[in-house]
Structure 1
Amino acid sequence: MNSTDRESRHLGVHIDRTADDVYAYASDPLNLPAWARGLGGSIKRIDGRWVAESSPMGRVVVTFVARNGLGVLDHDVTLPSGETVYNPVRVISDGQGSEVIFTLRRQPHLSDADFERDAGTVAADLNRLRELMESA
């Protein structure tokens, strides 16, 4: 494994809503289709697991960290191949608003173009979350 295989990028967005408001909305898996289109257009609870059926990656299982008072929104995405991708996400206070920070980790052997595409998808999702929260 070379050093580019371990690259991480922190993508963030400021939202003019409190961290508690943003966390309450973003931590509800049923809200994911509205803002996290990178995970797909629908999510259902099937046999005790959250399954995104229409993900661009195919059918994926999303496992969330337990709700908490620290703003941690970490989740694992298990791909159809069986590979699991860990996604660290935080909601932190930022003045009267908040900031959502997603750490995108480059997966082994991912091309530069694919890593940039993934970063663009995450950035679009975060911007959609901001738009939804600020218009509510």
Structure 2
Amino acid sequence: MRSHHVSQVIAAPPDAVYEYASNLDNLPKWAAGLARAEITRDGDVLLVESPMGRVEVRFVEQNRFGVLDHDVTLPSGTVVTNPVRVLSHPEGAEVVFTVRQIELDDDEFTRDIEMVAADLQRLGSQVTEVHARTEQLEVARDARELRDAKAADDGNRVSLAELRAELDGSNGS
């Protein structure tokens, strides 16, 4: 059995990449190589219509280590374990997916690698877009908070003349 590592650098923090990729509702949006249609959930098992036919997918529990490993039970009953990691990278995050040649000839293995690479590129585009929108919303929120704080501060300002009058009034008592 051969293995091939496919990686994609994504200009977003690893936590943002992991959060998006581990959300099973997002799976059909970026993992076309696995899920071409809606996912049916049966407990912790996902039933997915894939290019290979109906498969069962079981992900590891969400974790703080960036591990997205999942077992895919093929129509033949063979279980393929797919190691996937979201790692820190100087430019954001790197997703590394290990493709294994199980029940595939060399041409099918090459196609599988290409499909995973396309999936990871799609994941990168989607996460980058979501992350950029999130940052824009945070900047807008921070600007509103700053504006509100400035307005509150302006409302609390006391002129020098008012301070003198208050001091003079307190000294005369």
- TM above 0.5, yes or no, is yes
Partner of residue 10, structure 1: 5
Q: Which consecutive residues of structure 2, in runs of 5 or more, have no partner in the other structure?
A: 131-173
More strand by proportion, 1 or 2?
Answer: 1
Structure 1 residues 117, 66: closer, same or farther in 2, change over 3 A?
same
More helix by proportion, 1 or 2?
Answer: 2
Partner of residue 77, structure 1: 72
Q: If you compute each CA radius of gyration, which structure gives the higher value, 1 or 2?
A: 2
Quick one: which of 45, 51, 54 aligns to 1:49?
Answer: 45
CA contact (8 A) 2:85 2:95 kept: yes
Of the structure 1 ranges 15-24 and 35-44, higher mean CA displacement relative to structure 2 is found in: 35-44
User: Does the residue aligned with 1:38 lie in a helix, a strand or coil?
Assistant: coil
Please give the TM-score of this superposition, normalised by the length of structure 2.
Answer: 0.71
Partner of residue 112, structure 1: 106
Q: For residues 74-107 of structure 1, what are the alpha-carbon distances to aligned partners after superposition, in whole Å with 9 as ceiling and x for unaligned?
A: 0000112211111000000112510000011111
Aligned residues: 129
**What is the Cα-based RMSD across aligned positions, in Å?**
1.2
Identity of aligned residues (%): 50
Q: Residues of 2 paired with 1:134 and 1:121: CA distance?
A: 20
Letter paired with 1:123: A
Structure 1 position 46, deviation (Å): 2.5
Q: Residues of 1 paired with 2:91 and 2:3: CA distance?
A: 28
Q: Which consecutive residues of structure 1, in runs of 5 or more, have no partner in the other structure?
A: 1-5
* Bigger RCO (CA 8 Å, 6+ sep): 1
Partner of residue 26, structure 1: 21
Structure 1 residues 48, 7: closer, same or farther in 2, change over 3 A?
closer
Matched, 1:90 2:85: yes
